[in-house]
A and B are shown apart, each in its own frame.
Chain A
Amino acid sequence: MRWLKGIFGELIGLFIEDGSFAVAIVVWLGLVWFVLPRVSLPPVLQGPVLFAGLLAILLESVLRAARRR
């Protein structure tokens, strides 16, 4: 059974390694989902806003890891 647990753990580990990084991505997606339709933003900017937030999360997480280790 231990190897089954290992496989399950590995499955979760596919998506989550640094908890705060994964949470930041999910929270940003939630914000885009709920807030963006209520903001008067030109439709052509909707996708780029989602993208810009993800780039910022990636950069922040890498720089935080560089300062910490």
Chain B
Amino acid sequence: MTSWTHIGPTVVAAFLASLVEFVEALTVVLAVGVVRGWRGALVGSGAATLTLLAIIALLGPLLTRIPLDTIQLAVGVLLLLFGMRWLRKAILRASGIIAMHDEASIFAEQEAALRQMEGSRGGLDTVAVIAAFKITMLEGIEVVFIVIALGAGGKGLLIPASLGALAALLVVVAVGAAVHRPLSRVPENTLKFVVGVLLSAFGTFWVGEGLGLTWPGEDWSIPGLIAGFLVVALIAVPIARAIRARRTGLMARDAA
């Protein structure tokens, strides 16, 4: 039976990861709606959502036919690559090595680009439909992967993972509809940091399970893995920041 050590972090990880993706999609859909009209933006997003639901309906039943340890290994490897990529990027952003993701500037860039594009503004605007479809598909595929990956880790986890993603969608749609602006105040890097830790921990656990390795404390090693990734990531931030500061200082001294 799936324990709360799986269900709790699964819901939280699915919610936070999906929140990040939906916020990114909302920024572009809002720009499309404001510049090109809401009809095209909603048709494009709606068509992409239906396509994504069809993918889930197709993949979901197929996954149940594959043995659990095989799924755990395959999904664990993908989840590790995905989660550790997010965590690495969040550490580099937090230490100032790469720039932070800025929804307000992305919105402005998209807005400017969409204004320059030709296309019919009466009737159904194909530019708006394609732009909204593309961004919803791009970000939505990440959500589908996260839900399927988290859901495939154990029996009965697909529903908690789906509910986490659905809750994130409802929150972003509700807030987006209310404020009609990109959600630039969402602490995206902090969310990516937390989600990176959670997904990396799950990926590590499932790869270990898939390879038949022994975990001390079995399911209870998951909180330990989460704590381990979190501590190392938090230690990495000031060290990377110090290396960068020393390099910047040396370069400034060389230039002077």
A66 touches B77 (CB 8 A): no
Max chain A CB contacts within 10 Å: which of B88, B142, B200? B88
* Cβ contact within 8 Å between A58 and B84: yes
Q: Mark A1-17, 1 if CB is under 8 A from B, else 0.
A: 00100110011001111
Closest chain-A Cβ to B98's Cβ sits at a distance in Å of 7
A52 to chain B, nearest CB (A): 9
Answer whether residue A55 sits at the interface, using C-beta atoms and an 8 A cutoff: yes
Interface contact B141-A10, CB-CB below 8 Å: yes
Q: Is A16 within 8 A of B236, CB to CB?
A: no
Residue A59 at the chain B interface, CB threshold 8 Å: yes
Can you offer 9 A-B residue contacts whose CB atoms are under 8 A?
A10-B141, A25-B81, A32-B213, A46-B214, A51-B228, A54-B200, A58-B88, A63-B239, A66-B97
Chain B residues touching A, majority SS: helix
For the complex, what is the distance from the CA of A63 to the CA of B84, rounded to whole Å? 15
Interface string of B124-160 (1 = CB under 8 A from A): 0000001000100110011001000000000000000
Shortest distance between the CB of B234 and any CB in chain A (Å): 12
Residue from A10, A48, A51, A69 having most chain B Cβ neighbours under 10 A: A51
B232 nearest CB across to chain A (Å): 5
| A27 interface contact, C-beta 8 A | no
Contacts of B80 in A (CB 8 A): 25, 29, 54
Given B78, B85, B243, which contacts A67 in the complex, CB threshold below 8 Å?
A: B243
CB distance from B125 to the nearest CB of A (A): 16
CA distance A33 to B91 in the complex (A): 28
Q: Bound complex: CA of A55 vs CA of B229, how far in Å? A: 7
